[in-house]
Structure 1
Amino acid sequence: MGRKVLVLNQDYSALSICSVPKAFLLVFLNKAELVAGSDSYALRTVDTTYPMPTVIRLHRYVHLPYKGVMLTRQNIFKRDNNRCQYCGTADDLTLDHVIPKSKGGKTNWDNLITACKRCNSRKGDYTPEEANMMMRQKPFKPSFIVFLRDFSGSIEESWMPFLSKREKAY
């Protein structure tokens, strides 16, 4: 049961993604309501069948002071589709500072990319232009909604109405 469930705040804004058991428990304990269930799958007990949740909405509003995507190694890899941004390989990946730290480069979304060890070593302490290496895409900071929609793995069709609102692009 590796499926995921979109969790909405009380105002129907996307809040997070959780597992099916966690979502079912929130609905069962009356802390959330089922907004959309799967047509293909169900949760069964000995005498009862429940729809498997794909989207739930919390009964209470959860205030999040910062709703952004954390800068982590895994999130950079997800943003870059687990591919080296120079050669495209998926082997032996690491992080690369586009502008090297020794030249004033910061550790942020706009300066970090995924690179294989070979390309990272070849680039060395140079910028991509100085090393004559072209990046496949320019690094960017994904918004929370875009990150949920594009980088959380496979998403359910029932999520789209809640993930396509409010924010358009990066």
Structure 2
Amino acid sequence: MSRKVLVLNQDYSALTICSMPKAFLLVYLNKAELVAESTTEKLHSITQTFPFPSVIRLNRYVYFPYKGVVLSRQNIFKRDDNMCQYCGSKDHLTLDHVMPKSRQGRTSWDNLTTACKYCNSKKGDHTPEEVGMSLKRRPFKPSFVMFLRNFSGILDQQWIPFVGSKMEQIV
């Protein structure tokens, strides 16, 4: 029952990911329609069998003014694959300002990256170029759909028509 379901707005744009019980309840109460169901699983009650939702679409349009990814430590780590962007280590991770804060570096998607404690202290109050370090990937702000697709850790094959495949990068 821990499977996740993609929720689409009435216009078929990706809105969020919810739990399977929540998705089933929305469909059962006629607040959403089933767009795609699991081909391998079914939901069973004592007397009935129901389709196991994979993608649902809300019956009413939900106005969602800000469709962005919240800047947080966990989301930076997810974007950077929980790996130091200087040496590739996955241990003792911290956040690093590429342009140091002491030099008016901002706390933003484009200036924060994941670094291990060793690389972060080696870089110190300098830019990576000044100390001969290079980034594996420049920091960027992921789009909402990219975050749902690539960084939620879940990608059901039936979601691909609505969020694209992991291979398609939107940068």
1:96-150 CA-partner distances (Å, limit 9, x unpaired): 0000000110000000001111111111111111121111101001111111111
Structure 2: tracts of 5 or more residues without a match: none
Q: State the partner residue of 2:170.
A: 169
Structure 1: tracts of 5 or more residues without a match: none
| TM-score, normalised via structure 2 length | 0.94
1:24-72 CA-partner distances (Å, limit 9, x unpaired): 1111111111100001111111111111111000011000111111111
Q: State the partner residue of 2:21.
A: 21
| TM-score, normalised via structure 1 length | 0.95
Aligned identity (percent) is 66
Q: Matched residues in 2 for 1:160 and 1:73: separation?
A: 27
Instruction: Give the CA RMSD over aligned residues.
Output: 1.4
1:73-100 CA-partner distances (Å, limit 9, x unpaired): 1111111011110111111111100000
Q: State the partner residue of 2:92.
A: 92
Q: State the partner residue of 2:7.
A: 7
Q: Matched residues in 2 for 1:136 and 1:2: separation?
A: 34
Q: Matched residues in 2 for 1:51 and 1:90: separation?
A: 40
* CA distance 1:139–1:168, shift in 2 (3 Å): closer
Deviation, 1:164, is 2.6
Q: Matched residues in 2 for 1:82 and 1:122: separation?
A: 19
Q: Secondary structure at the match of 2:71?
A: coil
Give runs of ≥4 in structure 1 deviating > 3 Å: none
- In the alignment, residue 79 of structure 1 is paired with which amino acid? R
Q: Secondary structure at the match of 1:130?
A: helix
1:79 lines up with 2:91 in the alignment = no
Moved more, 123-132 or 103-112: 123-132
Deviation, 1:154, is 2.4
Q: State the partner residue of 2:42.
A: 42
